[in-house]
Amino acid sequence: MKQSDKLFAGSIPKLYDDYLVPLIFAPYAGDLASRVASRSPSRVLEIAAGTGVVTRAMSERLPANVSIVASDLNQAMVDQAAAIGTKRPVEWRQADAMALPFGDAEFDAVVCQFGAMFFPDKAKAFAQARRVLKPGGALIFNVWDRIEENEFADAVINGLATLFPNDPPRFLARIPHGFHDPAAWQRDLPAGGFTRPAQFETVAARSKAVSPRIPAVAYCQGTPLRNEIEAKGIDRLAEATDVAEKAVAERFGTGAVDGKIQAHIFTVEA
């Protein structure tokens, strides 16, 4: 993993929340919140919370007496999430999933939406989640399926490959969609101390936007793909976004666009 792959800073958090959250994260946030609610927890920890789309969904679906702690490695993402806020109090924390600043057996559920792919040592992160869970508590997380099953992302990277043929930016394929093999996660969970079998399912959804420009801006400017593009020249971002927009338009049309997204969801008990 490149250092820039996990850097969500500058204008990325705001663009991420404005463009990427409604495009691909919101369709799965309600699903994850419902899975947490079905377990009737009293205390929940969210790791790699980003700008808080799942946090907001949980704050609506969980009873008011359920304590929610939402954390992310990047302070800028935590700040953006806190600025948006929730319908009831949530504790926001900057925290590294590899070294959680919480005591043993503090939580009934640990939740992570599309963040596990960024953990440098996945077994170590799972060991931390296992440590802070109460006996019988659950880790619930999702990861993206392969990029070909996520059509807007696939169109964007294929478009950028035409702009940078000698060294195409591959962040989307390398990290968000680079850990799509369920068998690998099934190996990492026992390595992190989870001895019970994980429940697993693949869930498809639809990603919709009013124009091809939305996915182009979402991916090129609202993710660390931006860091990879700007490393090729600070002035290349606008050009790359235009090329990505054209690629999406050629595949899905110039008006409202609708593409497939697909993810794997895991639940494993401590």
> Which residues are paired to 209 by β-bridges?
257
pLDDT for 2: 67
DSSP state at residue 65: T
Where are the alpha helices (H) located in the chain, listed in sequence order?
A: 12-15, 26-37, 53-61, 75-84, 122-132, 151-163, 171-174, 182-191, 213-221, 225-230, 236-252
pLDDT for 193: 96
pLDDT for 9: 65
Is 87 in contact with 12 (CB distance < 8 Å)? no
Q: How many Cα atoms are found within 13 Å in the side-chain-facing hemisphere of 268?
A: 23
Length of the chain measured in residues: 270
* Tokens found for residue 84: 């948006």
Segments in the chain below pLDDT 50: none
Which run of H or E residues covers position 1?
none
Residue with tokens 């808080």: 52
Residue-range domain boundaries for the chain: 3-269
Q: What span, in angstroms and rounded, lies between the C-alpha atoms of 6 and 9?
A: 9
**Domain 3-269: which topology?**
Rossmann fold (3.40.50)
Stated pTM of the model: 0.95
Neighbours of 10 (CB within 10 A): 12
Q: What span, in angstroms and rounded, lies between the C-alpha atoms of 139 and 39?
A: 11
What is the SS3 assignment for 200? Answer: strand
pLDDT for 11: 81
